[in-house]
């Protein structure tokens, strides 16, 4: 038994470190005003937002980009749940919506305590249906605010919406660890990533900072199958869950968000200002829906 354990440990130590040398950035779409909210559908296509133009775009392999939704309420972040429903943060409409596979749109959050949300920004849904989203306010979004705080919210499958946190800085990107036990939230003003423990009911505890001093305001976050965090800031910065910087991917434009895609989830799609880019990887993204 001891020899077997020793051999297993030695084999683990012998595993090669992740190789970043072959990562090549490729532009796949352009001509937008400000791209955000990329998400890969299990049906085999990428969705992403052009926020100022109020459109959600669809990019399928071998096809030209096509408009998926007009008048999107200035949608920013998007994600899917396990049933294939699309969730969108409509910053201009100040609400979070769920669109079913027939195209029916339902509002799932638009106020807190009777006051309108600020401008929902980014969103994630756990495998068991718990929805988490950030509600900051950037630029003109701050005009006419009714809430006197920035929030991180939880919408459980059953029951009322809950307030997870009221950070002093503006929360932005949001993601869940591969094992579903940790919620990550980017704070753009503080340039850090905070983490929260998640229990089986989707409740959050133990708030702490896990990554600090990020190079530029962190925006979107994704997590790979190893638990590493891929953070869009001035670059795409890759960190371990313990906060160690592994690598930075420089894009031709400042990235805003990213997502893992393609059937094997081994391509990183990056929304960066006027364009969409992709990078073929040697690691899989964690599937969160």
The pair of structure tokens assigned to 73 is: 């309420």
Whole-model pTM: value is 0.93
- Residue 244: Cβ within 10 Å count: 10
Q: In the predicted model, is pLDDT for residue 15 greater than 80?
A: no
Domains in the chain with CATH codes? 26-280 (2.120.10.30)
pLDDT in tens, 175-205: 999 999 999 999 999 999 999 999 999 999 9
Helices (H), the chain: 2-14
Closest of 209, 91, 92, 109 to residue 162, by C-alpha: 109
Pairwise pLDDT comparison (33 vs 142), residue with the higher score: 33
d(C-alpha 173, C-alpha 133), whole Å: 9
pLDDT at 175: 98
d(C-alpha 243, C-alpha 93), whole Å: 35
Q: What average pLDDT does the structure give for the chain?
A: 93
Looking at the DSSP assignment, which residues form a beta bridge with residue 59? 46
Give ∠ CA 13-197-191 in degrees, rounded to 5.
85
Residue 3: phi and psi, rounded to 5, are -65, -40
**CB–CB of 84/42 below 8 Å?**
yes
Tell me the pLDDT band of 20, cut-offs 50, 70 and 90. confident
Tell me the pLDDT band of 74, cut-offs 50, 70 and 90. very high
pLDDT in tens, 238-285: 999 999 999 999 999 999 999 999 999 999 999 999 999 999 999 999
As a whole number, mean pLDDT of residues 4-18 equals 44
pLDDT at 12: 38
Closest of 104, 51, 106 to residue 73, by C-alpha: 51
pLDDT at 7: 40
How far is residue 287 from each of residues 39, 127, 222, 266, measured CA to CA in Å?
11, 9, 10, 11
Query: Torsion angle, CA of 232/248/24/62, rounded to 10 degrees?
Result: -10
As a whole number, mean pLDDT of residues 25-50 equals 98
Tell me the pLDDT band of 19, cut-offs 50, 70 and 90. confident
């Amino acid at each position: 038994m001891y020899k077997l354990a020793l051999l297993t440990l030695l084999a683990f130590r012998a595993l090669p470190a992740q190789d970043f040398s072959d990562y090549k950035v490729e532009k796949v779409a352009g001509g937008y005003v400000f791209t955000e909210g990329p998400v890969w559908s299990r049906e085999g296509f990428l969705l992403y937002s052009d926020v100022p133009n109020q459109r959600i775009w669809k990019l399928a392999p071998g096809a030209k980009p096509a408009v998926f939704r007009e008048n999107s309420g200035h949608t920013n972040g998007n994600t899917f749940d396990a049933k294939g429903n699309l969730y969108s943060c409509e910053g201009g409409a100040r609400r979070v919506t769920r669109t079913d596979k027939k195209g029916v749109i339902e509002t799932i959050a638009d106020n807190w305590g009777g006051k309108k949300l600020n401008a929902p920004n980014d969103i994630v849904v756990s495998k068991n249906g718990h929805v988490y989203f950030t509600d900051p306010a950037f630029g003109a979004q701050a005009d006419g605010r009714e809430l006197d705080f920035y929030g991180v919210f939880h919408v459980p499958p059953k029951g009322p919406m809950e307030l997870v946190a009221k950070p002093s800085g503006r929360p932005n990107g949001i993601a869940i660890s591969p094992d579903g036990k940790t919620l990550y939230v980017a704070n753009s003003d503080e340039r850090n990533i905070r983490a929260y423990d998640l229990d089986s009911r989707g409740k959050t505890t133990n708030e702490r900072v896990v990554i600090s001093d990020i190079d530029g305001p962190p925006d979107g976050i994704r997590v790979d199958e190893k638990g590493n965090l891929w953070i869009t800031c001035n670059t795409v910065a890759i960190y371990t869950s313990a906060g160690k910087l592994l690598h930075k991917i420089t894009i031709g434009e400042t990235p805003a968000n990213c997502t893992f895609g393609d059937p094997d989830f081994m391509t990183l799609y990056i929304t960066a200002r006027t364009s969409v880019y992709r990078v073929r990887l040697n690691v899989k993204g964690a599937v969160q829906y």
